[in-house]
Amino acid sequence: MKKTQSRAVDTETLLDWYRKMVFVRRFEEQAERSFRRGKVGGYLHLYSGQEAVAIGFIAPLRADDILFGTYRDHVYPILRGTDPGAVMAELYGKATGVCKGKGGSMHIFDVAHGFYGGYGVVGGHVPLAVGAAYALRYDPGDRVCLCFLGDGAINTGAFHEGANMAGLWGRDGLCPVVFIVENNLYGMGTSVPRSSAETRLASRFDSYAIPNEQVDGMDPVAVYEVARRVIDDVRRTGRPHAVEALTYRYAAHGAADVRQPYREKHEIEEWRRRDPIVTVEKRLRAEGALDDAKVAEIETAADRQVEAAVAFADASPEPLAEELFTDIYAGLPVDAHRA
Amino acid sequence: MPELTYRDALKTTLIEEMDRDPHVLLMGEDIGVYGGTFLVTEGLLARYGSKRVVDTPIAELGFIGAGIGMAMLGLHPVIEVMTWNFSLVGADQIIQNAAKVRYFSGGQVSVPMVIRGPNGTGVQLSAQHSQALEALYGHFPGLVVVSPATPADARGLLRSAIRGSDPVMFLENASLYGTRGEVPDGDYLVPFGSAAQAREGRDITVVVHGRMRAATLAAAAQLSSDGIECEVIDLRSLRPLDMDSVAESVRRTHRAVVIEEQQALFGVAAEIVTQIYERCFDSLDAPVVRVSGEDVPMPYARNLERLAQPNEVKIAQAIRRTVG
């Protein structure tokens, strides 16, 4: 793992990242409050703590690149430019949600911004991303596909079958996929040492002839430096590459979890000392780009934007009853399948 | 109209569709160098190259999932499963992603993908290689499930499947590959959800699909000499299901028998019989009867295997009983 010098990212860019990270953190905190108030149903998996990974990998992307994510999926599309109000409305199960209220928290999609979804079966989206990457090189082109996955996915058959095919197809330059393993130490409540015989997860990719490395997933600049190089390389070669980002989630696995018997409070506090937002804030203060007043201004702006997203979600209508039967088939009449 | 085998009807349709649309590609185990376990794709690797005829590892979960990702990005993969039995390894991808991703994305993506291969019982392949899975896949909204029984329907349904916009489970049968029949030339398409009258008759409606069509037509020919005229309706497509054609026939004949290869419990015939009762109760002169496989894993011994399956004799008996 490389420690990065701060010169890679200029102050203006870092300030932009800071604003974005503050915003998505506040967005997730609001989503949890809305869940507690019964406005958001089902499962809700929060990204707080892992922001550096998404920031660092999404920053070097082109507008026509594509991404596949896990069920901890609100932040990726927002960082790509998806309207946060439409994401919040999806959590609220409203007609104005990104998926018309049919997907919910675990299935955020925004194809217009290249986000091909959140998926609820651990590891199940990995082969999809591999096939999508193949499609990006089937006709001449240089787009890339990012596939975010967690440390839990690394032990699934879908991961191994997908990674092997990526390695095979990459030999012909037909699989421009970047696997980003967000190792947040726990698959729900089971730690990496208790679930993976080999705990250096990046090394799993050795078996599939996919170059791999680790990065400090709490440092957005470090992530960005690796991401920029890897994405450039994958774009040029059409071959897959893997990065294990060592990171941490602060919240419970899902918002419905009331107990966390698998970890101690002090562990969370230790990781919070390396919080990506705090780290970037310190650096920007040292560079004179932030002071108390500016921080307060940015936080207030983030809160206003979150409030606007909630107001939009709250005021939006529920899906019409007719929507129950739409979007099942693309090529058949709405009632074709009904008895 | 040329006469082709079922195998050649499939193969020529693949060629025509691949020539027509450069975004159609084939993927599966041993479909390229080996030419396909049942030789449906023989010679296509040489014709189209390895980017369009992709030999995969033995990894159904992986390559079916990859096919879904390709389809979401605009390709039209036609995936061969060596047999449908092995689709169960990839069933999570079929059921959890292919069938549902359009719905839970609010219609933002579609999955124009075909999965094809032999379904049902072979000859002495025993339990893991002998099952008909239409009831399983027919259960899930978002999937199309078809079961062509003739070379013409193999062509017409495969063409609809490749040109369609949805994931199609295309159920062939090993015993059908060598069968011959007339196959229309040109842009012949059979739409989904359209049953066919395989035989006209006044006394009873017999509902079939796939391999059971031939056994039922043989039974019907035999019964005809005893003065019983069967109308045989070949469903061709199980999802969507053309119950209008079935009901129209039953209202004329007032009797029905439903044939299926697989075991009865929670099966295809159970669904069709229920819908016949829902739509045609007042027209029926006799209880509707099912002929199904026995409720056992498929045994190896030839005599036991024969006992486990529906056949011409069992079908004829059920029809005689129903006609009374």
How many CA atoms does the CB half-sphere of A189 hold within 13 Å? 9
B281: helix, strand or coil = helix
Q: A117 and chain B: CB distance < 8 Å anywhere?
A: yes
| Whole-number pLDDT of residue A93 | 98
The CA distances from residue A297 to A276, B216, B268, in Å, are 19, 78, 64
Question: What is the pLDDT of chain B when averaged over all its residues?
Answer: 97
Tell me the count of A-B CB pairs closer than 8 A: 168
Of A124, A128, A161, the CB nearest to B59: A161
Question: What 3-state DSSP class applies to B202?
Answer: coil
SS3 content of chain A, % helix, strand, coil (to 5): 50, 10, 40
A320, part of any domain: no
Give residue B324's pLDDT: 87
CA–CA distance from B304 to each of A150, B125, B300, B308 (Å)?
Answer: 49, 12, 7, 6
Is there a shared CATH topology between the B3-182 domain and the B196-323 domain?
yes
- Looking at residue B217, its pLDDT comes to 98
Residue pair B305/B122 in contact by the 8 Å Cβ criterion: no
Tens of pLDDT, residue by residue over A240-283, are 999 999 999 999 999 888 889 999 999 999 999 999 999 999 99
Nearest CB partner across the interface for A131, out of B66, B105, B166: B66
- A158 with B65: Cβ contact below 8 A: yes
Phi, psi of B38 (to 5 degrees): -110, 20
Query: Average of pLDDT values for B93-111?
Result: 98
Mean pLDDT, all residues of chain A = 95
Look at residues A203, A247, A206, A199 and name the one whose alpha carbon lies nearest to residue A223: A247
In a domain, A53, yes or no: yes
Domain annotation covers residue A331: no
Q: How far is A105 from chain B (nearest CA, A)?
A: 11
Closest chain B residue by Cα to residue A173: B51
Task: State percent of chain B over pLDDT 90.
Answer: 98
Interface residue A164 vs chain B (CB under 8 A):
yes
Q: Is the ipTM of this complex over 0.90?
A: yes
- The yes/no answer on whether domain B3-182 falls in CATH 3.40.50.970 is yes
Give me the residues of chain A with pLDDT under 50, please.
Answer: 1-5
Q: At what angle do helices B212-224 and B312-323 cross, to 10 degrees?
A: 50
What is the percent of chain B where pLDDT is above 70?
100
Name the residue among B59, B93, B108 with its Cβ closest to that of A124. Answer: B93
Residue located via tokens 């990012």: A146
Quote the pLDDT of residue A1.
Answer: 43
Contact B23 A138 (CB under 8 A): yes
Entry pTM: 0.97
In a domain, A326, yes or no: no
Catalytic residue among B16, B17, B29, B60: B60
Looking up tokens 């979007």 gives A327
Angle at which helices A292-315 and A11-36 pack, to 10 degrees? 40
pLDDT at position A3: 45
Mutate to test the interface with B, among A144, A323, A328 (most CBs of B within 10 A): A328
Nearest Cα neighbor of A114 from A79, A63, A166, A187 is: A63
Smallest CA–CA distance from B160 into chain A, residue: A331
Q: Judge: B65–A124 Cβ closer than 8 Å, yes or no.
A: yes
Structure tokens at A232: 């450039």
Under CATH, to which class is B196-323 assigned?
A: alpha beta
pLDDT recorded at residue A5: 47
Residues in A closer than 8 angstroms to B193, CB to CB, are 332, 336
Examine residue A339 and state whether it is found in any structural domain, yes or no: no
Q: Which domain holds residue A168?
A: 6-314
pLDDT of residue B178: 97
Identity at B164, one-letter amino acid code? G
Every domain of chain B and the residues it spans: 3-182, 196-323
Instruction: Mention every residue, 6+ apart, whose C-beta is less than 8 A from residue A151.
Output: A181, A182, A183, A184, A185, A186, A187, A192, A195, A196, A201
> Per the structure block, which two tokens stand in for A248?
């941490």
**Chain B interface includes A162 (CB < 8 A):** yes
Q: Which of B50, B63, B73 sits opposite A135 (nearest CB)?
A: B73
Nearest to A134 among B70, B240, B275 (CB): B70
The domain total for chain A is 1
Residue A333: its pLDDT value, please?
81
B248 belongs to the catalytic site: no
| φ, ψ (nearest 5 deg) of residue A171 | -60, -30
- Residue A52 sits in a domain whose CATH number is 3.40.50.970
| Other C-beta atoms lying within 10 Å of the C-beta of residue B185 | 10
DSSP string, B71-107: HHTT-EEEEEPSSGGGGGGGHHIIIIIITTHHHHTTT
For position A336, what pLDDT does the model report?
A: 67
Please write the tens of the pLDDT for every residue from B167-189: 999 999 999 999 999 999 989 99
Q: What is the pLDDT of residues B114-144, one digit of tens each?
A: 999 999 998 999 999 999 999 999 999 999 9
Q: Catalytic annotation on B60? A: yes
The answer as to whether A335 is a domain residue is: no
Has residue A150 been placed in a domain? yes
Is residue A132 domain-resident?
Answer: yes
Q: Which of A99, A100, A128, A316 best tests the B interface by mutation, with the highest count of B CBs <10 A?
A: A128
Predicted pLDDT at B294: 97
What does the DSSP 8-state code read for residue B285?
Answer: S
Cα angle, residue A129 at apex, residues A125 and A132 outer, rounded to 5°:
135
Alpha-carbon gap, residue A57 to A60, rounded angstroms:
6
List chain B residues with CB under 8 Å of A168: 57
Residues of A in contact with B65 (CB under 8 A): 124, 126-128, 130-131, 158, 161-162
